[in-house]
Amino acid sequence: MRAPIFQVDAFTDRLFGGNPAAVLPLDAWLPDATLAAVAAENNLSETAFLVRRGADWEIRWFTPTVEVDLCGHATLASGWVVLERLEPGRREVVFHSKRGPLQVERAGEGRLAMRLPRQEPAECDPPPALIRAVGRAPCQTWLGDNYLAVLEGEDEVRGLQPDLAEVCRLGERGLIVTAPGAGGAGDADFVSRYFVPQAGIPEDPVTGSAHCMLAPYWAARLGKRALVAHQVSRRGGVLGCEDLPDERVVRLTGRAVLYLEGTATLG
């Protein structure tokens, strides 16, 4: 069996930046073991698989080791594949996922926008493993699908070398670290990094789903709904964030760049 495969760098306007995702449109769902094997072979943060559902698509995401129930950058990449390669006349597309329908639409000037489920974190005490992972107690700690550790400044986030063995002791939850942007013209409102070695991803280059927590936190702290975010991993990425509590979503905007287009042999 053969299937088209695309590799797209998401949340960037330059090749080899942002977060690479593989996208494979399929005629029908294959066994989970096959999907997992393909994702392991690709060895990217996520591989997205798509199957048509009427005018929409079903979507599933796999890391090299596990299936996840929400992935932002691979959804943005999948939107790019549908709107630019599979159905280039369309303005928007809906993906049906385990977390509900996810819409991706054209947002002008080469950008795409998507709506992801909003998550308002709750403040908590940092568990000992988090303190050991960061090397000190954060200024604040919040809990949602992941732990969110707030540090004092951008330089701390950029320079952090976490103890990944301790991050693994957080269980299924990954670790987001964040701080205000350094300030100045063109700088971000906030910066972040994301570590989830327990899912086979020591550091995720740019993480859309992490901003389901980050956007509500920073919108409340800074007193504005529209924000610019930089995920300051080695590859780096830029996200526009809009917190929409009345709609229970966050709206994320970004660009995407095609790296690879070909055919995969699946067995």
What number of CA atoms fall less than 13 Å from residue 98's CA on the CB side? 8
d(CA 185, CA 216): 23
Kindly state the DSSP code that residue 31 receives in the 8-state scheme.
Answer: P
Q: Is 105 a catalytic residue?
A: no
Active-site choice (41, 46, 92, 154): 46
Within the chain, strands assigned E span: 2-10, 19-26, 46-53, 56-62, 67-68, 92-97, 100-106, 112-117, 122-123, 140-143, 147-150, 175-180, 190-196, 201-204, 226-231, 237-244, 249-254, 256-265
DSSP codes joined into one string, 37-90? HHHHHHTSSEEEEEEEETTEEEEEEE-SS-EES--HHHHHHHHHHIIIII-TT-
Residues taking part in catalysis: 46
